[in-house]
Amino acid sequence: MCLAFVTVKRDHVNYFDASVGSLLSGLDDTERRALSVNVLFANTNPEIHPSWGQLWMNRLVDSVSSYNVSEEEFQRLRSLEESHNWYEKGVHDYTYVLDQCYVTGTPYIGIFEDDIIFADGWLPKTLRALHGIDHELKAENWLYLRLFYTETSLSWTSDDFAYSHMGLVFLLTMIAACGALLLTRRTLPSTRRHLDIATITVICTITVPAFTGLVFMIGKCNITPIRGLVEMNKYGCCTQALIFPRDQVPNLVSFLRERNEGQTDSLIVEYADGQTLRRFALAPSQVQHVGIRSSRDNLEINTRSTWAFWFEENDPLALRREHEYSVERGDMNFSENAD
């Protein structure tokens, strides 16, 4: 599997070193050999990046590069950089690393942003998920496996029956509660002293609706959390960590270059919708977004909301034990078609 990071200099902070460190941390030799890790320094002057030229880079990753383009293309990129046209430059950088990985011939290509951290054991879980997509689900037309999503994008929507019929839900719970209390009062005379008509009225018209509303406020992800390999064709955000099958890359790159500019994640979703391609996610997220300071002049309130809440429930020691057990039982056999 070919993996690529796109990294740029950020003011006063550098998340990139921790991103690469967490990617490789805990991998045994077999797991490391299954990966080709590539880094693109996406500044036209890469020397301004604090990690450029560091000795550890050449020791830990397989390829370190800056732009290898024509002079005309280089000047265009410099102009985009100076004008802060991140919509166009972001699309260019994404297609650039997709092409870099495509020529390696690996069946899967992962593109990562530079402000993330990985959970221990992310690789065997990812490989099992890819195996499940291709061999158990036998999915043919699928675009990516998502290793990061934010639960804020998976809240109640009009697609949820309970949410789109909220008034009916409130009415039914009130009727059910009222019926149950009246039946109790009728069949158990000893309860009539406590279940008088006034009490039943308060319970049915105030208490039950209040608790019903609380259920909606708790959120769908807390009531019915998702686990394992799930299909996520809608509402998944963002492009922090996506794994693509090789055969989908040429057409995706052509589409992105034709569109030229925009929010990369939105363009990818637009392409997938237009081609009716399935999209999957590994739940809970195997990656966390930690970049509060955006590389694209994004507001801090937006970067803070790009957060995988369930990722924080991970127990590092439990993940380490699970990872060691995964290695012992030979889960890397799934990598035979992914290295």
Angstrom distance (rounded) from CA 74 to CA 203:
70
Q: For 286-302, write each residue's pLDDT tens digit.
A: 999 997 665 555 555 55
Asked if residue 238 has a cis previous peptide bond (ω within 30° of 0), the answer is yes
pLDDT band at 339 (very low <50, low <70, confident <90, very high): very low
Mean pLDDT, the chain, integer: 91
Q: For 97-153, write each residue's pLDDT tens digit.
A: 999 999 999 999 999 999 999 999 999 999 999 999 998 888 889 999 999 998 877
pLDDT at 329: 82
pLDDT at 152: 79
pLDDT at 336: 54
pLDDT at 337 over 60: no
pLDDT at 230: 93
Torsion of CA 129, 3, 287, 41, to 10 degrees: -170
The winner for highest mean pLDDT among 126-140, 147-161, 320-334 is 126-140
**Predicted structure pTM score:** 0.84
Q: Residue 280 in contact with residue 144, Cβ under 8 Å?
A: yes
- Return the SS3 of 157: coil
pLDDT at 338: 46
pLDDT at 74 over 80: yes
Cβ burial of 167 (10 Å; 0-12, 13-18, 19+) is: exposed
Q: Residue 257 in contact with residue 99, Cβ under 8 Å?
A: no
| Residue given tokens 């002293």 in the structure block | 193
Could you tell me where the beta strands, DSSP code E, fall in 8-75?
36-41, 63-65
pLDDT at 69 over 90: yes
Quote the percentage of the chain above a pLDDT of 70.
Answer: 94
Q: For 176-193, what is the mean pLDDT?
A: 93
Torsion of CA 192, 194, 200, 204, to 10 degrees: -130
Per-residue tokens: 187: 């069949």
Higher pLDDT, 182 or 297: 182
Per-residue tokens: 255: 């589409």
Q: For 165-176, what is the mean pLDDT?
A: 95
Length of the chain counted residue by residue: 339
Pick from 74, 104, 73: which is nearest to 2 by CA? Answer: 104
Could you tell me where the beta strands, DSSP code E, fall in 1-94?
2-7, 36-41, 63-65
Q: Which CATH class is domain 2-154+228-337?
A: alpha beta
Q: Residue 281 in contact with residue 233, Cβ under 8 Å?
A: no
pLDDT at 293: 60
Angstrom distance (rounded) from CA 173 to CA 179:
10
- The terminus-to-terminus CA distance of the chain in angstroms comes to 5
| Residue given tokens 């993330």 in the structure block | 116
Q: Residue 88 in contact with residue 264, Cβ under 8 Å?
A: no
pLDDT at 9: 93
Angstrom distance (rounded) from CA 116 to CA 135:
29
Q: For 15-21, what is the mean pLDDT?
A: 95
pLDDT at 298: 57
How many CA within 13 A on the CB side of residue 203?
A: 15
Q: For 188-244, write each residue's pLDDT tens digit.
A: 988 888 899 999 999 999 999 999 999 998 888 788 888 999 999 987 788 999 999
Per-residue tokens: 234: 């809608």
